[in-house]
Amino acid sequence: MREQDVPQEGNATLAGHRKAIYAVGDDGKLRLVPSRGWEVEEIVTRQAVEDLERRAREARERVRAGATSPLEYHMYRARMDLALLSQTTGLWRWRVRRHFKPRVFARLPLSLLQRYAEALGISVETLGQVE
């Protein structure tokens, strides 16, 4: 890529940051050039973020319908999946999955709730509800 071709399209996912990429200058030498972003990157980043947002939204609907617990919603909110939440909390996957049941979740002891809240980076109160 030539220096003048380095994309400066203003990728919104960079939130005003500039990243740096290597490009060929007029003298034929490669150098680090700041970039405001490339539409391609914006497309793929938004795609990944939107996929997680969609999962969180669907989980929220299911919480309202009484089909799952707020834990599943907050898991997707924290951009995690079952495998990662299980690793982060140190709980077996089947136990985490079981805690997705609203009735089981409602009876969880505070110690377990704290463990989840800590892993997800939210407070115990937040964990108990969906906004």
Partner 1 sequence: MVTAFTHRRGSHCESGVMSSLLHHHGLPMSEPMAFGLSSALAFAYLPCIRINGMPLVAFRMPPRAIVKGLQRGLGFGMRFETFRSPASGTARLDALLDAGKLVGLQAGIYWLPYFPPDLRFHFNAHNLLVYGRDGDDYLVSDPVAEASTRCARKDMEKARFAKGVLAPRGLLYYVTTPPSEPDWAVLGRRALARTTDIMLRTPLPFVGVRGIEMLARRVERLPLDGGGERARLYIGHLVRMQEEIGTGGAGFRFMYASFLQELAGKTGHAALDGLAIRLVEIGDRWQEFAVAAARMIRRRDALAPPALAERLRALAGDERLFFQELRRVQRAWAC
Rounded-to-integer distance, Cα 55 and Cα 127, Å: 17
Residue 60: CB atoms within 10 Å: 19
Query: Tokens 């089947």 label which residue?
Result: 94
Rounded-to-integer distance, Cα 101 and Cα 71, Å: 9
* Position 17 contacts partner 1 (CB under 8 A): yes
* Position 93 contacts partner 1 (CB under 8 A): no
**DSSP string across 31-52:** EEEEE-B-HHHHHHHHHHHHHH
* Position 47 contacts partner 1 (CB under 8 A): yes
* Position 44 contacts partner 1 (CB under 8 A): yes
Closest CA to 130 of 63, 65, 34: 63
* Position 124 contacts partner 1 (CB under 8 A): no
Find the shortest distance in angstroms from Cβ 83 to partner 1. 7
* Position 83 contacts partner 1 (CB under 8 A): yes
Find the shortest distance in angstroms from Cβ 58 to partner 1. 13
Sites of contact with partner 1 (CB under 8 A) = 1, 12-24, 28-32, 34, 38-41, 43-49, 51, 78-81, 83-84, 87-88, 90, 119, 121
